[in-house]
């Protein structure tokens, strides 16, 4: 057998439940290295986040982001603290927080699959006939737009009032590289892209719409493209989510729409995401995998949190970074199997069935992998 280059997955747990949930995802990855011939080294670095800032005065250790860029994939937990950590100054947060790390890593494409698991259908506030069969891929631009546009800031005016400014700005190249990700994904799916903007009010939205349409006409005539204003889209996502295949949006609209769409799956604790950078000549892409949920300080350290969003984020890493599509499928099947057996953490517990712990969920997924792999 030809020798392959050993791959490297870096675990950066961050704050709060990030530690507990990534620990379970790392165990699951170890299972794949032991039982499925996956040649992947796993390293951990917890010198990142609000807790580290309180201990060391630094938000992240020097060189950490460079190492994250070098890794084949990074499994990220969550960032943000509670209690005294809440005093973390906004400027520190802005300078070193998650958006800044994403920007430094150049991970411009954020993929958020929204695919409800049938066993959890009754956990969604939406009726099962609305959510049944939904399969949406949110493709969110992640390192541009109003999160980063200049000018930004808060100033005091001569009359003593204060003025806060952020700028929504996109260039052709920023729009086209994210549109390309959406169209390429659509080709492997149901060949439909819905592009979201506010072109009726915003120039940046008008540009977004024109550029996406021209790009599609030139390069992807086989893909059906329609455009939707973001307000209408927010309604359509909960009214009739089956109409969507790939949902393409800018940074802030994607942030809002992905939380909105998460109700389709029943729990924010179930949603994984992948943030991916440009292709390098070697074929590698920088990639950060993280749950959509946050650090949940109220339940941190109690072995209660649902690790499935982190475990499913590992599933995305298997597919998008480690070249292991079949293993990604196996992991999805194992998670579905566990949930169907009503082995669930407190956030998604079945009525009358005692919830299992964070590590108990890790055990359950590993047991299911063993059963399914035969």
Q: How far apart are CA 62 and CA 275, in angstroms?
A: 22
Which residues are identified as catalytic? Answer: 147, 198, 231, 255, 259
Distance CA 2, CA 209 (A): 47
Q: Is 250 in the site for ligand IPM (CB under 6 A)?
A: no
Closest CA to 193 of 145, 137, 241: 137
Q: Which does 98 bind (CB under 5 to 8 A by kind): Mg ion, ligand IPM, none?
A: ligand IPM
Tell me if 98 contacts ligand IPM by CB under 6 A: yes
- The minimum distance between CB 101 and ligand IPM, in angstroms, equals 10
Q: How far is the CB of 255 from Mg ion (least distance, A)?
A: 4
The Cα 290–Cα 316 span in angstroms is 10
Q: Which helix (H) or strand (E) holds 67?
A: helix 64-70
DSSP labels, 294-320 = ---GGGTTSS-S--HHHHHHHHHHHHH
Q: Treating both helix axes as pointing N-terminal to C-terminal, what angle do 308-320 and 17-35 enclose, rounded to 10 degrees?
A: 50
What residues contact 187, with CB distance under 8 A and at least 6 apart?
220, 222, 223
Q: How far is the CB of 250 from ligand IPM (least distance, A)?
A: 12
Cβ atoms of 168 and 141 within 8 Å: the answer is no
Least distance to ligand IPM, CB of residue 80, Å: 7
Of 105-113, 119-127, 245-253, 255-263, the segment contacting Mg ion by CB under 5 A is 255-263
Residue of minimal Cβ distance to Mg ion: 255
Asked if residue 255 binds Mg ion (CB under 5 A), the reply is: yes
Which residue lies nearer to ligand IPM by CB, 99 or 360?
Answer: 99
Q: What angle do CA 165, 237, 244 make, to 5 degrees?
A: 110
Which among 355, 365, 304 is positioned nearest to 334, based on CA atoms?
Answer: 365
The least distance separating ligand IPM from the CB of residue 179, rounded to whole angstroms, comes to: 20
Please choose, out of 36-44, 58-66, 254-262, 275-283, the segment that lies near Mg ion by the rule CB under 5 A: 254-262
The interface partner of residue 99, options being Mg ion, ligand IPM, none and the CB cut-off 5 to 8 Å by kind, is ligand IPM
Nearer to ligand IPM, 98 or 193 (CB): 98
Site for ligand IPM in 18-47 (CB under 6 A): none
Angle at 290 between CA 12 and CA 317, to 5 degrees: 90
Binding residue for ligand IPM, selected from 211, 245, 255, 347, defined by CB under 6 A: 255
Determine the distance from the C-alpha atom of residue 190 to the mean position of all C-alpha atoms in its chain, rounded to a whole number: 21
Instruction: Between 106 and 360, name the residue whose CB sits nearer to ligand IPM.
Output: 106
Contact segment (CB under 5 A) with Mg ion among 39-47, 247-255, 296-304, 356-364 equals 247-255
Residues lying near Mg ion in the complex (CB under 5 A) are found at 255
Residues lying near ligand IPM in the complex (CB under 6 A) are found at 98-99, 255
């Amino acid at each position: 057998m030809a020798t392959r280059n050993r791959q490297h997955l870096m675990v950066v747990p961050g704050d709060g439940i990030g530690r507990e949930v990534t620990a379970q995802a790392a165990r699951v990855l170890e299972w794949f290295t032991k039982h499925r011939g996956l040649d992947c080294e796993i390293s951990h670095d917890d010198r990142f986040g609000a807790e580290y800032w309180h201990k060391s005065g630094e938000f992240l250790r020097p060189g950490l982001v460079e190492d994250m860029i070098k890794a084949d994939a990074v499994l990220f937990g969550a960032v943000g603290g509670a209690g005294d950590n809440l005093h973390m100054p906004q400027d520190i947060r802005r300078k070193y927080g998650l958006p800044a790390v994403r920007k430094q890593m150049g991970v411009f494409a954020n993929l958020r699959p929204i695919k409800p698991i049938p066993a959890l259908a009754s956990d969604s506030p939406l009726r099962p006939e609305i959510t049944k069969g939904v399969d949406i891929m949110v493709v969110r631009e992640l390192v541009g737009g109003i999160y980063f546009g200049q000018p930004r800031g808060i100033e005091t005016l001569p009359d003593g009032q204060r003025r806060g400014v952020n700028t929504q700005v996109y260039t052709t190249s920023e729009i086209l590289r994210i549109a390309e990700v959406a169209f390429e994904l659509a080709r492997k799916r149901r060949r439909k892209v819905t592009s979201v903007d506010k072109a009726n009010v915003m120039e940046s939205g008008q540009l977004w719409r024109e550029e996406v349409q021209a790009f599609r006409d030139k390069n992807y005539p086989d893909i059906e493209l329609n455009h939707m204003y973001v307000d209408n889209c927010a309604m359509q996502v909960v009214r009739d989510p089956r109409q969507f295949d790939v949902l393409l949006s800018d940074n802030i609209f994607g942030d809002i729409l992905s939380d909105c769409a998460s109700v389709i799956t029943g729990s924010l604790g179930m949603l994984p995401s992948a943030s991916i950078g440009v292709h390098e000549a070697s074929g590698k892409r920088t990639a950060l995998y993280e749950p959509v949920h946050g650090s949940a300080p109220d339940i941190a350290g109690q072995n209660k949190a649902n690790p499935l969003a982190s475990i499913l984020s590992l599933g995305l890493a298997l597919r998008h970074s480690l070249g292991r599509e079949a293993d990604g499928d196996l992991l999805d099947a194992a998670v579905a199997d566990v949930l169907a057996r009503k082995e669930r953490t407190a956030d998604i517990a079945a009525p009358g069935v005692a919830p299992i712990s964070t590590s108990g969920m890790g055990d359950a997924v590993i047991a299911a992998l063993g059963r399914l792999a035969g």
